Structure formats: structure tokens, C-alpha cells
Amino acid sequence: MLLIRCPYCEEERPELEFRNAGEAHIARSANMAGESDDDFEKFFFIRSNPKGIIYERWRHIHGCARFFNAVRDTVTDKFVMTYKAGEPKPSKLPGAVK
Amino acid sequence: MSGAFRIPSAGRLSQAKTARFSFDGQSYTGIEGDTLASALLANGVHLVGRSFKYHRPRGFLSAGAEEPNALVQIERDAARKAPNIRATVQELYDGLVASSQNRWPSLAFDVGAVNDIASPLFSAGFYYKTFMWPKAAWKSLYEPKIRAAAGLGVSPDKPDPDHYSSRYAHCDVLVLGGGAAGIAAALAAAETGARVILADEHADFGGSLRFETGAKIDGQDGYGWAQAAIAKLKGMDNVRVLSRTTAFGYYAQNFVGLVERVSDHLQSPGHDLPRERLWQVRAKRVVLATGSIERHMVFADNDRPGIMLASAARIYLNHYGVAVGKNVGVYTANDSAYAAAIDLKKAGVNIAAIVDLRDHPTGPVIDEARALGIEINFGRAVIRAGGKLRVTSMTVQPKNGGGERTIPVDAILMSAGWTPSVHLFSQSRGKVAFNDETKRFVPGIYAQDCVSVGACNGTDGLSASIDEAYAAGAKAAKDAGAKTAKGTKPKVDASESWSRGMLGAAPGAGPDKTVKAFVDFQNDVTAKDIRQAVHEGMRSIEHVKRFTTNGMATDQGKTSNMHGLAIAAETLGKPIPEVGLTTFRAPYTPVTFGAIVSHARGPLFDPTRKTAIHPWAEAHGAVFEDVGQWKRAWYFPKAGEDMHAAVDRECVAVRTNAGLFDASTLGKIEVVGPDAAKFMELLYTNPWEKLEPGRCRYGIMLREDGFIYDDGVVGRLAPDRFHVTTTTGGAPRVMNHMEDYLQTEFPHLNVWLTSITEQWAVIAVQGPKSRDIIAPLVEGIDMSDGALPHMSVREGKICGVPTRLFRMSFTGERGFEVNVPADYGQAVWEALWAEGQKHGATAYGTEAMHVLRAEKGYIIVGQDTDGTVTPNDAGLDWAVGKKKTDFVGIRGLTRPDLVAKGRKQLVGLKTKDPKVVLEEGAQIVADPKQAIPMKMIGHVTSSYWSQNCGRSIALALVAGGRDRMGETLYVPMPNGVIEVEITGMVFFDETGGRLNG
Ligand SMILES: [Zn+2]
């Protein structure tokens, strides 16, 4: 069972307390009704599914209930880092994972 | 005397404590402390099983967890029948009943042994080749036959009466393996004050010290030192010592799963003790001291009962006081088997000969064996074993060919060398490295905070192992944050040491031979099978493994993997590391489902949610249905009523007088804050800003794709407070959906969300007499139609307790939903019930609720919608705010497919024969005479008998349904085609007058 660090609780907690909530950094348009078909497709349907580093949303659902973002390596299943919702996508990752 | 092969002067068990047991119906006597294997061997019993594929007679290969052959069935009583128990691990208790597996009619005469003669049929890959055609024969013929013939014991056919427990634990240092290295590491770590857990799979600690008579540590014999050290560790507050505990899985971030066998070794465990206990340990550091496993020699008929690993014979002698034969042969490629021969010889057992593949080995054990007068043959191979149910001879030949000589024996001890147990290291995702000099895989690159010590690390010799382990234990504790050790390192005074050996098939089982020289005993894989796999094109060891099933049995190839790999490498003409080692996976040894499931079964499998009114419903004979985790009253049958009759009566009573319904399971969320209305505008399709406090509205929630996600009535209690209801099943996901948007997309809104489902009990009172029933109990609320119209909400008191009283209806009748704090739910229900009795009210359940709402065409999200239905499809366009510029789903609704013509729309269906009730899920076609497969244009979503309408009613999703009003469509069923007419969705009181009736 993985330990995941909740950036709000500032603690590593067991995986059972968390729930994945899909890919991160996909912003909802401020002018949603005016989006083109292509833009809506990108927003709603297209996901990156990388082999390696993925940026995704998690919720500490059985803890503080906050949504936050995490960087995870899909090959090793290791969490590289976690950060609060609304914070920018980190430009540098700790541990220099390629 | 506990068996003719017991040697009173040998072993550590007390002869006085005997234990009676039976095997295949025959009674025997053993000694407390025996394993089933040692007790059978003491009685001269070697034949204990038949092999999986060829049904060959098999005996004990080992004395431990690596055992591939000696799998037996242990039966305590009718419900406690455990198959595939390794007799080498099962501890003896008085009264133990065991039987052999995979034989019919008896162990000595097994009809299935014809497979041995017909073995060309069963060679490598036979599963893939033989049973390919015809496909249908798999189910009816091949699979049942194979399963019957290849039985590995019989599963119990009753529920497991035992209980299992589960614990989480945290520690600084977890030491896995309680041999010399593990104990030394645990001592070093424990002396720092660090929290230490030490686990070993055996009943007693010591590992190979249990048989290595040559070891002396701190002035004591090795085994005595180990027991003293364990006693010391057990006395320390910071140490937990777990025996009979197998670390079966090594997971991410030093999370290790262990199973402790708590009571399988006890005669009458009683119900206080669990059978097994699952330990889930999170360790800051892990020390792997898992030792090594001896390999067998691969030669013709090396599986005959009586042929076993040399170290096994030694442990049977030195620990259990059992001689494995009277005239024993030895076949080896390294020194360690000599020690077994020496110990047996000293105990009075004749050693017929030692056959050593090596040409000119030298060393103290060889000198000692020679001095004891044991015949030693260098440079020779055992090319064949004689005998069938028990080995009777070994045939020896110079390894490069020449004259054969057959030596009579009743047992053969073999040793091809030792394989480091890197299973847990490999599971931790560490990468093993091949040491070309010693021809073994040892831990290479670590992936986690762990360290390997002793034999599992390829460290040879007791002294070097203890040095390494002691230092590693101290370092692990320090790395975990502890102080420096203040103890003293154990001092090795004398030890045994050996290494090397050989991999692969021995001479006499080479590529030119067609003999059965077994590599994997449990899956009956021979050297020839592995060569055949290579010849048939398998190149990677992973493919060879799957094609031959080498190493894929329950022993996971603990003795066979390296041999199999070496033979494949030799056949491919490649070095071993290029062929690669297969990955080790959890579990190390089989784990019972009981241990994993633990207490989470039966009523504890999943939480059961009951409403405050549940006891009343139970007392009044309700039949319950499961709705998610909730128990809901389904209907309330009176004496002599079936479900149909009860539901008809309940439905009529509601429309005639009134009905009471427990709606407490309805999801309820309070949306509060200055921006509550703005938030509601974004989360629901409807407009909310202008909804007056005190009024309600039916809300629809979409996903971003435009499909209906949930619905429910929302009451505005104040400008900044909404009481939102959701479907019973949808409450948690709606809450999650709302939180998601509030936290991540609309964090600027000042809103708080609170789940209040459990806080409010809800009593629906519906029907023409509903107001008459409620009014006398209510304080502070004007119940007149003018003051409390349909779709409004008031706060006040009922029966003296606070209420949120909703005027709303899910039946089409004048109706109310009385919300009261859950603690008062049953009391208020009883008061309303008493009042209702004056007005002919009845209690109704979820089934009547479903019928009544369908009579009015009210949808149920998840039944009449399926995640692909838009508000327009459901005829609910009126609930979408046309002037709104944003809400979740607004863009999805305008996607091309969602506005296209011909979408499935929700409509009513009337069967031409009013007595016929359609099946929910039944498909609808326009032309029943068309060829199969027919074009299906829709399906039935809801269907009931309506006593109020005097006919059947149904809702359906039909392509272009609203343009087909009055059309006749068809529902083809196995017993004939049903004619239906498309109608509107409202079957009862189309004008809605009864809402104020
Ligand atoms: Zn948290």
C-alpha cells in the first residue's frame, strides 16, 4: 500500500484514504458555452496517458477531503511530489526523474 | 517408540511426549514437535503423494517451505478440510488426520499413473497443443477431465468456521528470517533501542543452525545460542518476535505482508484463537535474512520416494531424531552433502556410497567422511535411480561414460548447491545480479530501504554472515533514527562453510537422453521438456517458463528455477544472465483467503446502513431490499399477502386516503454561504437566484458532457441556505462532484457543503388525507394551501421537535416530506402513524413508491436514465435555464450528437393487452417480422402493474419516441411478440389536480 503525502495535512497517509480524480491541469474554460467543438473535445475527452511522469488530481477523501495535485511515475508507481490545488505545474521535479 | 526410524540419541524432541495421528486411514505415533513429515519418516513412510501430471509416486524432497511433493489434505472436521498443506511445514498434534492427494483408488495403486506411460502426450506445451480443437470440447470434455485428473486436493465445501485476524504494525527495523544472520541483525538493531520486529516461518528459530552441528557461537552450540538470543530478544520491550510467520509479500515503501499461523499446530485451538493473523507492517528499514535453499541433482528418476535434499536428511536427523533410511546413498556436486553423510554415519546409519561429480575435491568434510570409512566416488554420476514406490538402488557411471555399477540403497541424499533466497528482494523491485564465479543470482540494485545479509546475499560462512548481519542491523537502526548499538557482536567459534555446486542437468540426463530427470517436481517438468521448449522456438526464460510451466506451481520453483534456467541457457548456447531470471512475485508461499479477508466477511463484509425508522418497519413485518448499503422497507405484507397483493393494496391506499413512507435514505446536502445561489446556478441546470426562500424546485445536475447525473428537490431555506436532496444511491458522488467544483474550478465562491443525510430522518406523508394527519402535530407552520403551496418548505416544530417540512410529492397526490433530526425519527413516525390510523393511512415501501411515481411519469435517475440521457431526452427541457450563460454541462448539451434528430427519448408504453406486464430491459423493435438480428430502437426502463390504472404501465427509451405517439411497436420475447403503444409518460391524473386534492 502506497503512502501519499497530503499537501494540506502535511503528512504521509495510506493510499486507502485517497481517491484518484483524473489528470490535472485541465482548466475549465471561463467561457464554457462559447467553446468550439475541438476545444471541448480536448477539454473533456483527451487525456495524455503517458508512460512515465503523469500529473494527476487526488482527493484526500477519507481525511481532510481536499483535492490536490500529484506527480506520479506510471512505470514505478512512485509519487514524485504532491502540491495544493491551484498551484502551478512544477517546472522542476525533485530527484531529477527523467 | 515413535517409529522404527527414530534414533533416541539424536534430535531435540522429548520422546516422552507422543502424539497419535493418521495418514490415509493408518494410525501412527509421532512426537510433539514433529512435523507431519518427520513423524511419517520416523515410521518409515516416504510415499506420500502422486505427482500432478504423470501421477508418479512421490516422497519428501525437503524439510521446509520449498517442498514441491509432499502436499497433503488435513481434515479437522467436516468444515475444516485444508488441501495442499506441505507435510514438511505442518506441525504434528495429537489426533491429526491427514490424507494423500491426487491418487485413485489408492496411493500405491493409482490409475492415473497411466499418464506416466503415455507421457509423450503430456510433454512441454501439451496444454497448448493437445486440447486446441474443437473449441466446444474445452468446456464439456477437456477441462473437466484435466481438472479431475490433475487434482491438487479437495476444497472444503462448507463455510470456513475459523476466524482470522489482522493487525497493522509499524517498526524501525523489520528483520525477515530468524537464522544466524537474522538473529544477529535483530540483536544489533534491538540494542540501539529501535523498535524491531523479527519474523521466521518456522516454529523455532535458528535456520540452518537447526542442523549444522559444526557451528559454535559465543561458546555454545549454534542452536543453543539461537534459542538464548531469541529469549533475550523476547524479553526486550522494543522487540516483537514472531514465529510461524511467513513474510509473503514485499510491497511499495517498505510495506510487508506477513501471515502468522496461530493455531494450525494446536490439537484443539478453541474459538478464542484465530487460525491465522495477517500482519501488515510498515518498516523504516527492512533487513532480509532469508537464507538459501538447497538444489537437487537432475538425473533420471530423481523423484522416487526416498530421494531428498541432503540438508533435509540432516534436519530430520539432528532436529527431529529421524533417520531417513538404513542404507543411504549420497549424490552431490558440493561439500554440504558430506556433512549429512557424516552425521548419519555417526548416528549408526549405513552410508552405501558418496557419488561426487567433481574430479578432485578436497577439504575437511571429505577427509572426515573418508576417515569414517565411507566409500567416496569422485568424477562419477548417478545416472538412474531404481525402484518405484521407494528408491531401491542408484546406478553409478563415470561422468564421461563407462561401466555402470548399481548400488542398493533405500534413500539418496542430493545436493547440487545452494540458491540464495532472493524472492523478497526481487518482490521489493530490487534487481538481482548474476555472480559468474559462484553461478548464482544475488541482490544487485536496491529499490527500497532494505538490505540483504547472510546466505540470501551470497555471503558464505557463518562468521562472515554474522559480521555482515550485525553491522547491517546496527546501521538499519541508525538510519531509522536510533542511537549507536551498545551490545557486543556474537563471536563465531566454529562453523561449517561451503559454496558452489552445479546448475542444470547432470551427466546421464543430457540432451542425448530421453530419461525423466525432473527439474520441477510439482509441475512434472523434466530437463527434456525445457530443451524441447527451446527447440520449439522459446527464447526468453519467461516463455520457456510458461510453455513448460516450470516454476509455476504453488512452490513457485524454489528448487527448480535455477536448474531450468541453466538448461535453457545451455540449449540456447547463451550465458545465463542473457537468458534472464523470471520475476518473483508475491506470495512467497500460498496464503489463505481467510487471512486476507480476515473479519471482513458476512455481516462485516460491507457496512449496513439502517434508518432511524428501521426498527418500526421490522416490527411491522416489512420485507427489506438492499439499496447500496441501505436496508430499505420494500413492502409491508399483511397475513396471507404476497408481494403483488401487498404492493397493490399500498398503492391504492395512498391515492384513497394516505400513506407513510420512510424516505430517510434520500441523500441530503446543505449548501450554505453568501454565494450559495451562484454555486447552485453552476451545478444545476435550473435557475436559482430568483427562487424565493421557502420555495422548492426540482433540480437536474449534469456532467460536463451534458448527460443527467442526478436529480432531486431543492428547498431554499434562506437566501444563503439550500437544502438539496439527491438520489439515495447518488449522495456520495454528488457530494464529491460538488466538492470537486467548489475546490478546484469555483474556489472563489464562498460556499460550504455539508452532508446531512444521516442527520435528518425523512417521513413522506402522501395522499388526500396527508394534511389532516400532519396538521394536529405541527406547531408554528400555517398548513393552508395559500401559506404552504405545493413545492414549498417551512421550518417549525412537529411533536415538539424541529422540522423542515416540505410540501412536495413523488406520488402526484397532495404530499409532505417531514424532516426531523434522526434521533426523533422513529418517535415522530409513530406519532404520525397513530394519527394516520384515524384516516385510514397505510405504510408503504419502495416498491409502491416506484409504482406510484411511474403512474405519474416521474423518472428515477439510474433506472430511466443510464448516463447517456440528456434533459431533453427525458422530457425535462423545461428544467434547463435557457437564459443561463454557464452551468456544468452547458457546452456538452450542444454537442452535435446531443442535438441530433432521432435520439432515444423517454416515453410511456401501454401493452395492447392491459394484463401483460413488460420486462424491464426488454428491447423494442418497429417490425417484428424482420430477420434476426433485429434492429432495436429502444428498451423498457420501468414496468409495473398499476392497480390504480387497472392495467400495466411502462416507461421506455425509444428512438424519436415523442414523434411516435400512438404508434404500435413490438417487444419480441422468448414466448412471443408483445404489441405496445407509445403514449405520454403520465398514466394517472394527467392534469395534476390531485396535488391539491
Ligand atoms: Zn489531507
A26 touches chain B (CB under 8 A): no
Q: Which residues pair with B418 in a beta bridge?
A: B294
Minimum distance, in Å, between the CA of residue B104 and any CA atom of chain A:
44
C-alpha cell at B253: 515503501
Strands B276-288 and B165-176 turn out to be parallel
B429 touches chain A (CB under 8 A): yes
Q: Which of the following CATH numbers is that of domain B18-117: 3.10.20.440, 3.40.50.300, 3.40.50.450, 3.40.50.720?
A: 3.10.20.440
Residue B583: predicted pLDDT: 82
Average the pLDDT over B545-552 and give the result.
90
Note whether B750 and B673 are within 8 A (CB): yes
B117 touches chain A (CB under 8 A): no
- Among residues B874, B873, B872, the alpha carbon closest in space to that of B860 is found at B874
CB contact under 8 A, A59 and B740: yes
CATH fold label, B297-415: FAD/NAD(P)-binding domain (3.50.50)
Note whether B586 and B427 are within 8 A (CB): yes
Structural domain boundaries, residue A57: 3-84
Give contacts of A66 with chain B, Cβ < 8 Å: 743
pLDDT band at residue A97 using 50, 70 and 90 as cut-offs: very low
Please enumerate in sequence order all residues whose Cβ is within 8 A of that of B141, keeping only pairs 6 or more positions apart, or say none. none
Minimum distance, in Å, between the CA of residue A97 and any CA atom of chain B:
14
Res B277 pLDDT > 80? yes
Res B186 pLDDT > 60? yes
- Closest residue in B to A22 (Cα) is B740
Residue B660: predicted pLDDT: 98
pLDDT band at residue A96 using 50, 70 and 90 as cut-offs: low
The CATH number given to whatever domain includes residue A27 is 3.30.2270.10
Note whether B510 and B385 are within 8 A (CB): no
Partner-chain residue, chosen from A32, A43, A78, that has the shortest CB–CB distance to B890: A32
Reported ipTM: the value is: 0.97
CB contact under 8 A, B891 and A40: yes
CB contact burial B927-939 (16+ within 10 A = b; e otherwise): eeeeeeebeebbb
Number of other CB atoms surrounding residue B881 within 10 Å: 15
pLDDT digits (tens, 9 = 90+) for B945-954: 999 999 999 9
Rounded to whole angstroms, the Cα distance separating B918 from B909 reads 9
B156-160, B464-468, B624-628, B740-744: range with lowest mean pLDDT: B156-160
CB contact under 8 A, A33 and B886: yes
CB contact under 8 A, B255 and A85: no
A59 touches chain B (CB under 8 A): yes
Residue B854: predicted pLDDT: 98
CB contact under 8 A, B744 and A85: yes
Q: Ligand 1: distance of its center to the CA of B743 in Å?
A: 13
B740 touches chain A (CB under 8 A): yes
Give contacts of A1 with chain B, Cβ < 8 Å: 251-252, 255, 280
Strands B276-288 and B450-452 turn out to be parallel
Question: pTM here?
Answer: 0.89
Average the pLDDT over B125-139 and give the result.
58
What values do phi and psi take at B128, rounded to 5? -75, -30
Minimum distance, in Å, between the CA of residue A92 and any CA atom of chain B:
23
DSSP state of B609: B
Average the pLDDT over B71-94 and give the result.
93
Rounded to whole angstroms, the Cα distance separating B732 from B744 reads 18
Residue A98: predicted pLDDT: 43
Give contacts of A44 with chain B, Cβ < 8 Å: 704-705, 892
C-alpha cell at B836: 394516520
Q: Ligand 1: distance of its center to the CA of A61 in Å?
A: 8
**Residue at A91 is within a domain:** no
3-state secondary structure B423-489: HHHHHCCCEEEEECCCCEEEEEECCCCEEECHHHHCCCCHHHHHHHHHHHHHHHHHHCCCCCCCCCC
Return the CATH number of the domain spanning residue range B510-573. 1.10.10
Give contacts of A76 with chain B, Cβ < 8 Å: 429
Most trustworthy range by pLDDT among B52-56, B495-499, B919-923: B919-923
Distance separating the N- and C-terminal Cα atoms of chain B? 94
The domain spans of chain B are 18-117, 124-149, 165-292+421-494, 297-415, 510-573
Residue B132: predicted pLDDT: 53
The angle subtended at Cα B552 by Cα B547 and Cα B557, nearest 5°, is 120
Res B143 pLDDT > 60? no
What values do phi and psi take at B365, rounded to 5? -70, -35
Number of domains in chain A: 1
B30-44, B199-213, B240-254, B543-557: range with lowest mean pLDDT: B543-557
Is the model more confident about B156 or about B204?
A: B204
Rounded to whole angstroms, the Cα distance separating B722 from B218 reads 77
C-alpha cell at B981: 403503444
pLDDT digits (tens, 9 = 90+) for B739-775: 999 999 999 999 999 999 999 999 999 999 999 999 9
Assess whether the previous peptide bond of B120 is cis (omega < 30° from 0). no
Residues 885-924 of B with CB under 8 A from A: 885-886, 890-892, 894-896
> How long a stretch of residues is chain B?
997
Average the pLDDT over B393-404 and give the result.
96
**Residue at A97 is within a domain:** no
Average the pLDDT over B574-603 and give the result.
91
pLDDT band at residue B110 using 50, 70 and 90 as cut-offs: confident
Domain B165-292+421-494 has CATH 3.50.50.60: yes
Residue B193: predicted pLDDT: 96
DSSP state of B916: P
Rounded to whole angstroms, the Cα distance separating B495 from B461 reads 7
pLDDT band at residue B897 using 50, 70 and 90 as cut-offs: very high
What values do phi and psi take at B278, rounded to 5? -90, 125
Mean pLDDT score across all residues of chain B = 94
What values do phi and psi take at A29, rounded to 5? -65, 145
Q: Ligand 1: distance of its center to the CA of B856 in Å?
A: 45
Note whether B818 and B763 are within 8 A (CB): yes
Q: What is the CA radius of gyration of chain A?
A: 15
Sheet strands side by side (includes B923-924): B923-924, B938-946, B951-959, B904-911, B976-983, B968-973
